[in-house]
Every structure is written in structure tokens, then in C-alpha cells.
Chains A and B, each alone.
Chain A
Amino acid sequence: MAGSGTAHLRDGDIVMRVENLVMEFPVGRTGLKVHAVSGISFDVVRGETLGLVGESGCGKSTTGKAMMQIPRPTSGSIKLDGLELTTLGNEELRSARTKMQMIFQDPISSLNPRRIVRDSVREPLDVWGRGSKAEREALVDRVLESVGIDPQRAAESRPHQFSGGQCQRISIARALVLDPTLIICDEPVSALDVSVQAQVINLLEDLKKQYGLTLIFIAHDLAVVKNISDRVAVMYLGKMCEISPSDDLYARPAHPYTRVLIDSIPVPDPSAVLADATTIGEPGSPVTPPSGCRFHPRCQFADDICKSAEPILQDIGNGHFVACHHPLEVPVSIQSR
């Protein structure tokens, strides 16, 4: 895994295309670097939901922010509707950002606690001076209703008067008012109860249809990601392990790391056999990432080649790509021999 390559990139109506994205951050004045993202590529077709999944520290949130250019990437290319964002000037970037919005993990801290929530939702419209005052208010009403928040109540309440699930709905409304093309959801349901989580996922699915959105959904829970996504990319320590249509990823996970993620999901069935979790270990350091395949220290199939050579994403059929020297599924190049 944990490999590079661009074989999986597609043609067609691409909303977001990320190529060889590298994000590095200095560690104080030590001269060391955090290799948060080390050359990943992916694309998202219009109307599609791409899931980005991996453990803490795999670079999935950094990737999400890199698409918004916060901060600008160390290197690589990021194109929104064909427009290269990495070289844009500040003012052009500011206007390009209206087409993409983010939703964050902690709904309560992502809203200003001292502001009336309705004002928070309207603010993007005020900033851009969209429409007359009456038009703005009408739009805010419509959007709040579409996320299931009473506009009247929103006009007199602050975030602490709403539950976590409601605050997440309000954050979604705020992301929607500018009519974006792409919404990047960074762990939007991880802090919520399962019952509320289901509500928010259903809401995102509805809004996606209603507003013709393209979504990037970042999370660590593969079951949640699989439910909402058309395509899933599995990341590990700043590299891409596997990318595939979501049903195919679950039907035949090809990367040993994907297997680990699937086995870790708690199954609501007491008779299910629990996989031994002790061997899983923890991710290595992104400051001194392992050589070759970055997953090799935790991988039960690793051998010498995994320590020395980095695997490249290869096609295993059906739009399913894996970066592994010993994939659990046979690559197309070998199948055809």
C-alpha cells in the first residue's frame, strides 16, 4: 500500500481532481518534516460521493483541507471544475472557494457560540452580497427548512440551545447557502449518537439529490463511509492503499489494511467471532515514515520487497485499484496472462 500512482484517475465530468498531492509541515526548528500526505491522487465525478477513510494521522483531514487550500499544498495539482487552485491568487481563490464548502466533526465548536444561529447561516450571503436583504432571508428560510431546522427558532437561539445533531444540521445549512458544487464533510457524524448519525447521513443523501451536490466524505468508520459513498479511497500514513466502488471494496478488499479496518468494525451480533485485535498495532510516525510500503511494519504478509519498494496502484478490475505487493485479489495484469 501505501502507494502512489495515477492509474485510477478517470476521464469525464470531473468536479475535483487531485494529482500527486504532497503536504509537509516543518517540526519546529528541528529540520524534520511531518509527511502528512505523500503523493496521493484521486478524482470525483459530478454527483458522486467519494469516501476517504483511514485511522487518525493518515492524512485524510489534511487532504480535505488541502482541497480548500488551507494551507496551500507543498506540491501537486488540485483542480476544481478544471480550474487549477494551487496557483490562483488570493482574490480568485476566495471566489473559487464559494463553490466548495466544508462541514466539520464537532458541530458545536464549529458554530460561533455567541451568535444567533440564523445569522451564522446567513453570513456567507452577506459577505458576498448575494441578492437583496429580503431574498437572502427567504433563501436562509428555505435552506434551514430543508435541513429540518425551524427558521423561527433559529432566529432567536444560539448554538448551545440546540443538540449536537441539530448543530450539525445548522452547519450543513451554512455550507449550503452559497449553492456550492462540492461539499467536503470531515468526520461529520463521528461525534454523534448512532440514531442521530443515521438522521444526518439520510439528510446528506437527500440534500445531495435536491441540490445536485458532489460530496467528499471523510471518516474512520468504514461501515458509515460505505453506506454513503459511491467510491471509497483507503488512506494510510499519507498514502493511498486502495480505491474502489464501495460495494466492491467490501465484497473483495484487496489490501491487508482494508481487511484490518473491516474487521475492526463492531458488529451488533453477539455470536460474531471477534478478530484478535492485539496484532493490529498503531500507525507509525509520519515524521519518519517506514520505507517501501508504509504499512509493512503492521502487515502480516510483509516481506523484503515491501520494506524496500513502494507499491504502485494497480487495476484489479471493476474500477478497483490497490497498491500492494501481495494483494488479496489478483491484479488484472496477471489475470490476462
Chain B
Amino acid sequence: MSELQTEMRQEHQPLLEVTDLRTHFRTERGLVRAVDGVSLTLERGKCLGIVGESGSGKTVLSRSLMGLLPSSNTVTSGSVKFEGKEILGLPSKQMRRLWGREMSMVFQNPMTSLNPLMKIGQQIAEPLNLHLDMSRADARATAERLLRDVRIPEAARRLDQYPHELSGGMRQRAMIAIALACGPTLLFADEPTTALDVTVQAQILQLIGEQRRDRNMSVVLVTHDLGVVAGHTDEIAVMYGGKLVEKAPTSVLFAHMKMPYTMSLMRSIPKLEDPSHTRLATIPGRPPDLVHPPKGCRFAPRCAYARDKCITEEPPLRQAEDPNHSYACWYPVGSPEFNQREAELNSGAVPVTLEAR
């Protein structure tokens, strides 16, 4: 295939195409709208960051895409197309053909997601046997190579060790080796570094990036930390209250963030260059109750820039100056109303750290 044709195919058919996805859970309290109308696309070889607080729906979104939610109390609608084929609502028997070979997931806590009673080597060999019908000897050799790929020292010896014999960082590397075993085209990483030290976090993020380039794999990186996604993603989707509230290429988002929510998340990160005891900007309150979400903008009750319209009318996803940048806000960062409120906040008894950076 010529380069042009390849390009055209990729242009017409993204790896993952999500349209108006809704995932609702039936509970005693009522319907929990955990994911409520999310649309996004992911190109081959790209890394998408999904950012939001606990309860924003980012984990449910990634599990819905992979079909990992229990069917008994879940109601899903919309469309999820993987390589052009609809996969939403496929029975797990058919999804199983995709799991491992086409898509796989790295979870947050490697200690609870690895089997404590199985040797590391067996755990990596399992998907190889299951999905690729590999023989035991081949699977073991492949497992050893995978451990070397994820930079685990003394790979051969580690094959016969149990998870508790490895450090936290090494367990997460082993998890990544399992996820990569069958050569997936799409890797979901759900808070892969939240349980780890900063030094190990830097190493794991770099490892995921290297593997993505080597394998031309797409990655969905789910996290609550904007610092983590900044250096490791091509595009970022910010979620709040089950909705996508801002989406842009990474460099565009950081240069021109539009949603006050994104900006507040950004400002709540402690910065090394600030002197100690700099008051941190916080987001007051809590994410909304998704059984009875607020009527207007879901962030309005916690937003310092909200006005009457925000409380009564839900803002649609609008396009910003950059055609790839969209946001859902009536009075985005930089609008006259926003600037006016910002000036009021700065002149009043508002912490100094709220000043625009």
C-alpha cells in the first residue's frame, strides 16, 4: 500500500470511534449516569489522556470501551467502533477475541490485579496460551523476552517468582508485560502510576511511551493528574460528572485551556517553583451526584465563574479557535465575563494564588 493510501485509510477510519456513549448503572437510589454522552476518536499510534477527579466517569468510560462492565445492572447506549466494527454490547464470548490481541488494560493497583498465587511467568504466559495458542515452551520464552522489554532485571529468574517478591514498580512492569503480551493495538492504562513513587512513576510513563512507539500502539491514559498527561499524551479529554467538558491536542490545551474546571485542576497542583507555604487553589465542594446531576452545567455549583445561565442551561460542546479544540462552557477562560469575574476575585479577599499565571 502506498503511503497515500495508508494515510487515507487512517483518515477515514480511526482506530476507535466513540459516539454519544452512555453508561448508566441501575442502583437502589436510581439510575447513576456515570458516562453521559461522550464522543471521541482515537487515531492509530496516538496517546489520549483522560483526565478528571474521582467520580468523573473516566474509569467507567475506559471499562465501557473495553466491555468490562457487568451486564446485569448496566445500561449502555451509543456506539463504540473499533477498527470500523461496532463492539458496544458484544457478548463477552466475542469480546474475548479482542481482549489481549486487540486491546488490553493496565490497572491501578498491581498488587490486587496480579494473582498472588501464580508465578509471574505463568501469568504472562496465560494470555499467550489462551489467545495465541502458543506452546508452553514458546510462551515461556516470549514471557522472558517481554520481561526484558519492560526492563525487569534478571528476567529469567523473575519468571519463577511470585508477585510479593517484586517491588511495586516491578509489579507494575509485570502488569504491563501481561498487557503487551499478545501485541494489542490499543492499550488502556487506568491510573497506572497512582500507587507508585514519583521516581518509579517517571520510569513507568517513559516505558509505556517507548512501547507505544515501538509497537505503533494506541494508548488511553486515564489519570487525575494533569502533570502526568502533559509530557506523555498527544491529546487530552477532560471529564466532569460523566461528560466530556474539554478536548484538545495536549499542547493546545495547556496553552489555551477554556474550561474553568481544567484551569482549576491545573492550579491545584503544587508547583516546585513557588515558595513554600504558597496557598494552593482548591476546587470547593465535591463532584456532582450522578443520580440527580445539576440541571445546567454540571460544574456550575463549584465554579467561581458561574453565572445564572450556567445553572439553568447546559452548555454544548463548542469549537474553540483551534478546530481540534472543543469545550463545554458558557463563559470560558478569556471571555469578557470570565475576565470580569477574575478581576473581582483578585481584588477581593481571594487567596493570592488565584492570580492568573
Contacts and interface: CB of A to CB of B under 8 A. Distances in A.
A261 B280 contact: no
B41 interface: no
A266 B228 contact: yes
Interface in B258-279: 264-266, 268-279
A228 B277 contact: yes
A87 interface: no
A83 interface: no
Interface string B131-170: 0000000000000000000010000000000000001111
A193 B223 CA distance: 9
Interface stretch (B3-11, B26-34, B281-289): B281-289
A56 interface: yes
Interface stretch (A89-97, A109-117, A217-225): A217-225
A34 interface: no
A246 to B, nearest CB: 4
Contacts of B275: 247
Interface in B151-197: 151, 167-170, 197
Contacts of B38: none
Interface in A152-181: 163-165
A127 B354 CA distance: 43
A239 B208 CA distance: 32
A12 interface: no
Given A194-B226, A201-B280, A282-B170, A222 B206 contact: no
B268 A55 contact: no
B95 interface: no
Contacts of A229: 276
B198 A265 contact: yes
A264 B264 contact: no
A27 interface: no
A246 B272 contact: no
A194 B201 contact: no
A: contact size bracket: 35 or more
Interface stretch (A71-79, A268-276, A322-330): A268-276
A319 to B, nearest CB: 14
Most chain B CB within a 10 A radius of its CB, from A55, A199, A227, A267: A227
B167 A282 contact: yes
Given A227-B277, A282-B170, A266 B254 contact: no
Contact of B276 (A55, A246, A266, A276): A246
Contacts of A336: none
Contacts of A246: 276
A277 B206 contact: yes
B: contact size bracket: 35 or more
B346 interface: no
A82 B272 CA distance: 34
A195 B199 contact: no
Interface string A212-256: 000000001111101111100000000000000011001000000
Given A197-B268, A227-B270, A267-B231, A222 B198 contact: yes
Contacts of A287: none
Given A222-B272, A277-B202, A195 B231 contact: no
Most chain B CB within a 10 A radius of its CB, from A198, A199, A246, A274: A198
Contacts of B170: 282
B250 A194 contact: no
Contacts of B342: none
A260 interface: yes
A154 to B, nearest CB: 16
Nearest to B253: A270
B225 interface: yes
A235 B329 CA distance: 45
A278 interface: yes
A267 B201 CA distance: 12
B230 A266 contact: yes
Contact of B283 (A195, A230, A269): A195
A193 B228 contact: no
A262 interface: yes
A231 to B, nearest CB: 9
Nearest to B280: A198
B250 to A, nearest CB: 5
A280 B203 contact: yes
B231 A274 contact: yes
B53 A193 contact: yes
Contacts of B53: 193, 195-196
A44 to B, nearest CB: 15
B200 interface: yes
A205 B280 CA distance: 10
A57 to B, nearest CB: 8
B227 interface: yes
Contacts of B74: none
A308 interface: no
A291 interface: no
A268 B226 contact: yes
A150 to B, nearest CB: 13
A202 interface: yes
Contacts of A268: 226-227, 230, 254, 266, 269
A46 B275 CA distance: 21
B24 interface: no
B169 A270 contact: no
6 contacts: A55-B197, A223-B269, A224-B270, A261-B199, A265-B198, A270-B231
Closest 8 CB pairs between A and B?
A: A266-B227, A198-B280, A198-B268, A277-B202, A227-B270, A246-B276, A264-B202, A264-B198
Given A193-B54, A270-B250, A272-B231, 16 more contacts: A194-B265, A195-B53, A198-B270, A205-B277, A220-B198, A226-B276, A227-B270, A227-B276, A227-B280, A230-B277, A263-B202, A265-B272, A268-B266, A274-B231, A276-B206, A278-B203
